[in-house]
Every structure is written in C-alpha cells, then in structure tokens.
Amino acid sequence: MFKSLARIALFTAVALLPLSTPSVQAAEKKDFKVCWSIYVGWMPWGYLSDSGIMKKWADKYDISVEIVQINDYVESINQYTAGGYDGCSMTNMDALSIPAGGGVDTTALIVGDYSNGNDGIILKDKSKLEEIKGQKVNLVELSVSHYLLARALDSVGMSEKDVTVVNTSDADMIAAYATDDVTSVVTWNPLLSEIEAEANATKVFDSAGIPGEIVDIMMVNTETLADNPAFGKALTGAWYELMALMSSDSDEGKAARTAMAEASGTDLAGYDAQLATTKMFYTPAEAVAFTQGKELPATMKFVAEFLFDKGILGEGAPSPEFVGVSFPDGSIYGDKGNVKLKFDSSYMEMAAKGEL
C-alpha cells in the first residue's frame, strides 16, 4: 500500500516513549485537524477538502476541520501520535503498533476499506509461491508488506526462516527489481502493477488471499472524540456523502474520481484499476457489518502476534496481548487494563440510519 522508508526509525522512536505518553489534550473545542497520505483509499480526504464537502459538514456542526496531506505516511502517524493532529488515516496494524503501542488512546472512527489485491508478492522467472524458499525477498521491512509475506509463507507451511528479508525502500523497489540479483519483491500498488507488467514477473500471492486483514481507517484521538462528538459526526457525514458520489457512474462521480486520480499521479483508468483491488466500504452499512464481524478480532490477534514477534508492539511488551483492543460488542483482545485501540461503529451506524 503506502508504507515508508522511515518506519524503522519511527518504531524505534515510539519504542522509547514512556507508556504514559499523553494523548492529545482532550477538551471541548471548535477547531480540528486531521491528516492523510497518498493511497487509493485515502484520496477522498483530499477531495473532501478541495470540494468543500468537509466545510459543509463542519459548518453544520459549527466547527472547523482542516484536512492536511502529509507526503510521508509514517510521518503523518508520528505527528498524530505526538498530538499534532486529532485524526490520521492509517492501517489497523500501524494504529496498534505506533499510537496505541505508544500509549495514545485511539479510536477507529471510519473503517474505509481493506486491501483486496493492492499488496502482493512477485517472483522473477518463477510461478509458484513455494519457489520463494531460499530467496532474498526485497520489501519495506516491518510494514504491511512484511506482514503479508509472513501470512503467505504460513499458508504454504513455511516461515520467515525459509527466506532472507532485504529491507528496500518503496522509492527504490522498481529499480531494485530491474537488477539481476533481485528475484523476489513484496510491494503495493501502484508499484505492484508496474513490476507485474514485466515479462519475467509473476504475482504469486496478494492480499486477496487474506481478505479483511490489511484495513485502512481514519483513526482519531479517543478523548478528543468523546469530548467532541460533533467532530466525529462531521467527519463521518462528509465521508459517506463522498462515498455515495464517487461510487456512482454519474458525471459528478467520474469527475470526483478523476480529480483523485490526478492527485495521486495517475489517470481515471489507473485509479479505477486500483479501486478494483480495494474493497471499499461505500456505504456505512457495509462498514458497520465489517467492523462488527467476528473476523476482525481474529485479524487483530494475527496482527498483534506479528508485531510482538518483530519486537514492535511497545517497549517491554511481555506478550502479544500487551495492548488491549476493544470491539463494538464490548469484547476485548489483550490487556483489559491497557485498552488503547478501540473499534467503534457508533458513528458509522448513525450514518447508516440517517442520523447525522
């Protein structure tokens, strides 16, 4: 998807934070800021700002919401974790490891989509996943690409000890694949599609094989949301107005997707192709059903175990259950005394019922 060269440094920095790291100072207020970075499922945030849809919904609740694009994905999460933003677009995995693992109580407000083919494994001159054994695998270490590799290897009875991971920045991935000594890469779109187009490239596994596990979400500070429900209502209302627009075949819907495509460096056909490998929750009812589904707790268990295994679940984490994760039915995975990541479907439910 979109992960970053600075991830390892950020994990290190977060690991050094005390567990008592304060969250954003919560209080009733009028002005809010959220941030996002380039990825197919997050391009709507930029359009919400540019189109005036966000302003319309913010005005409805007598608040202001500034939407800020940050070019480095991990830096956006870093700034949110430090309290510079009230919300930030990120994956479920990164939310658990970075803000939640660093002690910042965070709520999944809008569950927007999951990767359904946007992340994949490519082998050079090989056609089966099993043939990856013994190879060096180039990927952004400790990212969802790393997680995808672990899940893929497990699916064929292998583990990471059967390969050698080579940390490679997303900026260098295409050039790296072109060299003779790189025989396997794990990456995300649009890099994935570009590499797959090479004559010697075969995609042997992608995120469609682990549906619902790499989830893209607008995360917000829990205390800020609790003290300012208007903030949650405005964000959610604006988001689903745009989802209805961009999922239509109307001229307005095509114009919206075209604007998002151009902002992400592609054209409408390219952007629509990326949407085709993304399970977008265009309606709030779809998002609610996913967030309340029985699969999500199992997914977060997988994610927590991966993060713990890599030593990036929080400083001194004694087990994968170090950080508690709560779900809409009231169940909790992990430490009930340290619940720092909350999946809350209530605002999406309000949108589904037309109550915003």
- Kindly indicate the confidence band of residue 27, based on its pLDDT and cuts at 50, 70 and 90: low
CATH number of the CATH domain containing 340: 3.40.190.10
Instruction: Give tens-digit pLDDT for 224-239.
Output: 999 999 999 999 999 9
110 shares a domain with 83: yes
* φ and ψ at residue 311, rounded to 5 degrees: 75, 30
Please identify, among 158, 177, 209, the residue that sits at the C-terminal boundary of a domain.
209
3-state secondary structure at position 128: coil
- Residue 319 corresponds to which amino acid? S
Q: Cβ contacts of residue 278 below 8 Å, gap of 6+?
A: 40, 41, 113, 114, 115, 116, 117, 118
Instruction: Give tens-digit pLDDT for 138-183.
Output: 998 888 899 999 999 999 999 999 999 999 988 899 999 999 999 9
Measured CA angle at 133 (ends 127, 137), to 5 deg: 85
Q: Residue 22: inside a domain, yes or no?
A: yes
pLDDT tops 50 at residue 11: no
Q: Residue 238: inside a domain, yes or no?
A: yes
233 shares a domain with 145: no
Q: What is the chain's Cα-based Rg?
A: 20
94 shares a domain with 35: yes
180 shares a domain with 267: no
Please state, in angstroms and as integers, the Cα–Cα distance from residue 175 to each residue in 136, 143, 294, following that order. Answer: 16, 19, 41
Instruction: Give tens-digit pLDDT for 91-101.
Output: 999 999 999 99
pLDDT tops 50 at residue 20: no
Residues 188 and 64 sit within 8 Å (Cβ to Cβ): no
Q: Residue 1: inside a domain, yes or no?
A: no
Strands 106-115 and 339-343: parallel
- Kindly indicate the confidence band of residue 315, based on its pLDDT and cuts at 50, 70 and 90: confident
Instruction: Give tens-digit pLDDT for 241-277.
Output: 999 999 999 999 999 999 999 998 889 999 999 999 9
Q: How many domains does the chain have?
A: 2
Mean pLDDT for the chain? 91
Q: Residue 229: inside a domain, yes or no?
A: yes
pLDDT tops 90 at residue 25: no
Residues 301 and 92 sit within 8 Å (Cβ to Cβ): no
158 shares a domain with 300: no
Q: Residue 2: inside a domain, yes or no?
A: no
Residue 43 vs residue 71, higher pLDDT: 43
Rounded to the nearest 10°, the torsion over CA 163, 211, 332, 309 is 10
What does the block give as tokens for 172?
Answer: 């260098």
Please identify, among 209, 244, 268, the residue that sits at the C-terminal boundary of a domain.
209
From 325, 93, 97, 115, select the one nearest 222 (Cα to Cα). Answer: 325
Q: Residue 188: inside a domain, yes or no?
A: yes
Which residue range forms the structural domain that includes residue 197? Answer: 119-209
88 shares a domain with 127: no
104 shares a domain with 239: yes
Please state, in angstroms and as integers, the Cα–Cα distance from residue 88 to each residue in 4, 69, 84, 108, 143, following that order. Answer: 15, 10, 10, 10, 17
157 shares a domain with 109: no
182 shares a domain with 240: no
Percent of the residues in the chain that have a pLDDT greater than 90, as a whole number: 83
Measured CA angle at 332 (ends 328, 336), to 5 deg: 130
From 109, 53, 113, select the one nearest 274 (Cα to Cα). Answer: 113
Stretch 7-35: mean pLDDT: 57
- Kindly indicate the confidence band of residue 189, based on its pLDDT and cuts at 50, 70 and 90: confident
Please identify, among 157, 191, 209, the residue that sits at the C-terminal boundary of a domain.
209
pLDDT tops 90 at residue 120: yes
pLDDT tops 70 at residue 66: yes
What does the block give as tokens for 9?
Answer: 């440094």
Stretch 104-127: mean pLDDT: 97
102 shares a domain with 142: no
- pTM recorded for the entire structure: 0.86
Please state, in angstroms and as integers, the Cα–Cα distance from residue 227 to each residue in 28, 48, 85, 317, 324, following that order. Answer: 5, 24, 15, 30, 22
Percent of the residues in the chain that have a pLDDT greater than 70, as a whole number: 92
330 shares a domain with 234: yes
First to last CA, the chain: 31
Residue 11 vs residue 42, higher pLDDT: 42
From 239, 221, 227, select the one nearest 27 (Cα to Cα). Answer: 227
307 shares a domain with 187: no
